[in-house]
Amino acid sequence: MAGAGLLLWCGIMLLPSAASAQDGSVILEADVDGRPVGVGNLVLDPSQTAKISVTVRNNTNTPQRVKTVRISGTALALTFFAYDTTVPFDVPAKSSETRSFPLEPTDLGSQAIGLLPVTVEVIDVQRESIASVETTGDVRGSLWSVYGAFGLGVLVLTALSWAGALIALARRRLPANRWQRAMRFLPAGIGTGLIAVISLSVLRLVAPSPTAEIPFIIGAAAAAFVLGYVTPHPGEQRPPSEMDTVRIQR
């Protein structure tokens, strides 16, 4: 009985490993105009038709039903463009299928510009992602696109925040509490960090990503917070100088 119990316990312990080995995964490979996605920057030009090719490798024991191929670009947790192309096909278990289709991003110029994280993914009939591959896209759009206008809007709001805080400092109208004065400068610092991230993206220097966004935003916010914290108390009187002293001769 003890031996049978030991064998049963060993079998239970081995079941999850066997199941995970059999489950496998679904892998997506894609290329645009013959260039693999993930190797270098993916150039997206609104004036040119791109040929998209996707290969789905189904390493699971269940067939996968692909309905849509989606190409999307995001920045700062916002999606600025997305193209869904209906390409229905089935991928049997332990096999792979390849499909190709043209993509005409004619309206891409009014949606984004610069370097943006781009995701290519295949979606099933339940609108759930089966597999995806990520890369950096070089979007040849207009400065007046949605992404460009978003950056200009952030620039205007940041300038207004700095102007309001500095004018209040000059007129000695900041709160008497240091923490409240620091919080008055904080939105301007956050806006400055966002402007830096968007500017580097539009200038095609650095694509927005958590590793690039967080240091710029947190660093600029911290600098503005400290600046507001060390500003002088609005009720403090500055010591008189020689220019303020008037001598009256007897």
The domain containing residue 165 runs over which residues? 146-230
**159 token code pair:** 């300038």
Confidence of residue 18 (pLDDT cuts 50, 70, 90): very low
CATH of the domain at 63: 2.60.40.10
Q: What's residue 238's pLDDT?
A: 53
117, part of any domain: yes
CA distances from 2 to 6, 9, 12 (A): 6, 11, 15
Q: Give me the number of domains the chain comprises.
A: 2
Q: What's residue 47's pLDDT?
A: 87
Q: 199 and 118: one domain?
A: no
Cβ atoms of 226 and 185 closer than 8 Å: no
| Lowest-pLDDT choice from 20-29, 80-89, 94-103, 113-122 | 20-29
Q: 186 and 119: one domain?
A: no
Per-residue pLDDT of 150-177, as tens digits, reads 999 999 999 999 999 999 988 888 888 8
73, part of any domain: yes
Q: 77 and 120: one domain?
A: yes
Q: What's residue 76's pLDDT?
A: 87
| DSSP code, position 25 | -
pLDDT at 13 over 50: no
Per-residue pLDDT of 44-76, as tens digits, reads 988 888 899 999 999 999 999 999 999 999 998
126, part of any domain: yes
Per-residue pLDDT of 109-142, as tens digits, reads 899 999 999 999 999 999 999 999 999 999 998 8
Cβ atoms of 89 and 66 closer than 8 Å: yes
Q: 85 and 170: one domain?
A: no
Mean predicted lDDT score pLDDT of the chain: 84
Q: pTM for the whole thing? A: 0.76
